[in-house]
């Protein structure tokens, strides 16, 4: 009998049965096609960013497909934290033992209040801080300024004992500085990266295609840039990296492991194929067997400087 390969991975204090999870905003436990068994096969579930109070999101149109990608300006609609706890959390508990909650705020205080509020909820495994949503009104996300980034993460840490995952914005000139900043502020894990700011125009109507004019680009178009960023960050930080951006198959995820990601989130590809994450898990196992590795850990960060 051949030995089953291990996909188990540690992200700081989090122990995952495998390294595949949805990217925030691309998974909703209230309307997934996956049944409970299938949801439990994921390494973790990650919920769409929640805000303290209800927010309605941007005006339509909110999405537009571009070459090899998806531009979105959904604008993080949220029914607020109380709705989340009452309506979503019970379903998430059945779905997976690792629940990662993405947080959104407009100020340090906002984030801290949310973090403190959620700290008492045992079932939440970690908080992912959405530092980079480009769709907010003031247009200046925390994630583009290393001092603001430090201040935010440092203060959130004071309000929660849960592991903090800093989801970085790729819309910066030096991603390494941002990663170092969140590491020194106390983040246990970094997710790299959120969407890239983009724009698309309807040349017949001579108007932007998104209601918000600009939006975030995801999909295969951005993957090589994210792979480069993971590789760069992996050389300078000691905390684990979650890679995300355009992963559409096991091979795409494997690229990210090889350059130093310990886990991979699958984002907008879930929209095309709701079973994508499960297919990727199977594909990674196959790859490891073929390459004669016993564990996913054998291939993480094989490609160095």
- Can you give the binding site for another protein, defined by CB under 8 A? 25-36, 39, 48, 56-57, 59-65, 68-70, 72, 74, 77, 87, 91, 95, 219-220, 248-249, 268-275
CB of 33 to another protein, least distance (A): 6
**Of 153 and 248, which has the nearer Cβ to another protein?**
248
Q: How far is the CB of 101 from another protein (least distance, A)?
A: 17
Q: Which is nearer to another protein, 10 or 36 (CB)?
A: 36
- Report in angstroms how near the CB of residue 28 gets to another protein at its nearest: 4
Distance CA 193, CA 242 (A): 9
Calculate the alpha carbon distances from 129 to 33, 48, 152, 220 in Å. Answer: 27, 11, 10, 24
Residues 175, 128, 63: CA angle, nearest 5 degrees: 80
Give the nearer residue to another protein in terms of CB position, either 62 or 167: 62
Query: C-beta of 284: minimal distance to another protein in Å?
Result: 17
Q: Whose CA is closest to 157, among 185, 183, 190? A: 185
How far are the Cα atoms of 189, 236, 268 from residue 179, in angstroms, in the given order? 10, 8, 24
Compute the distance between CA of residue 296 and CA of residue 197 in angstroms, rounded to an integer: 32
The strand pairing partners of 244, in sequence order, are: 265
Instruction: Give the residue with the Cβ less far from another protein, 63 or 113.
Output: 63
Closest CB 78 distance from another protein, rounded Å: 10
Q: Is 68 a catalytic residue?
A: no
Indicate the residue among 181 and 270 with the shorter CB distance to another protein: 270
Distance CA 299, CA 288 (A): 9
| Alpha-carbon torsion (54, 60, 65, 69), positive or negative | negative
CB closer to another protein out of 69 and 208: 69
Buried b (16+ CB within 10 A) or exposed e, 120-140: eeeebbbbbbbbbbbbbeeee
Cα dihedral: 57, 59, 60, 64 (round 10): -70
Which residue in 64, 112, 133, 248 is the catalytic one?
Answer: 133
Distance in Å, CB of 48 to another protein, minimum: 8
| Alpha-carbon span 264 to 266, nearest angstrom | 7
DSSP annotation of 88? I
Active site residues per annotation: 133
């Amino acid at each position: 009998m051949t030995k089953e390969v291990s996909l188990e991975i540690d992200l700081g204090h989090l122990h995952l049965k495998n390294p595949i999870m949805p990217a925030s905003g691309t998974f909703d436990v209230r309307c997934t096609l996956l049944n409970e068994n299938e949801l439990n096969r994921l390494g973790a579930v990650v919920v769409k960013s929640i805000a303290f109070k209800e927010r309605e999101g941007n005006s339509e149109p909110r999405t537009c497909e571009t070459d090899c990608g998806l531009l979105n300006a959904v604008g993080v609609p949220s029914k607020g934290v109380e709705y989340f706890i009452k309506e979503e959390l019970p379903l998430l508990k059945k779905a997976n033992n690792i629940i990662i909650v993405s947080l959104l705020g407009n100020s340090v205080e906002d984030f801290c209040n949310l973090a403190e509020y959620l700290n008492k909820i045992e079932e939440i495994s970690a908080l992912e801080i959405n530092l980079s949503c480009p769709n907010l009104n003031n247009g200046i996300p925390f994630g583009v300024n290393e001092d603001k980034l430090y201040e935010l993460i440092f203060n959130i840490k004071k309000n929660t004992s849960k592991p903090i995952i800093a989801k970085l914005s790729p819309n910066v000139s030096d991603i390494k500085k941002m990663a170092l900043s969140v590491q020194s502020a106390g983040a246990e894990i970094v997710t790299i990266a959120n969407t890239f700011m983009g724009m698309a125009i309807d040349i017949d109507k001579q108007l932007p295609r998104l209601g918000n004019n600009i939006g975030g680009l995801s999909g295969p178009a951005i993957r090589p840039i994210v792979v480069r960023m993971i590789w760069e960050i992996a050389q300078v930080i000691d905390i684990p990296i979650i890679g995300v951006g355009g992963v559409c198959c096991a091979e795409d995820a494997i690229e990210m492991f090889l350059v130093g990601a310990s886990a991979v989130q699958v984002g907008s590809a879930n929209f095309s194929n709701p079973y994508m994450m499960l297919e990727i898990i199977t594909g990674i196992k196959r790859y490891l067997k073929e390459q004669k590795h016993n564990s996913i850990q054998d291939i993480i960060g094989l490609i160095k400087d």
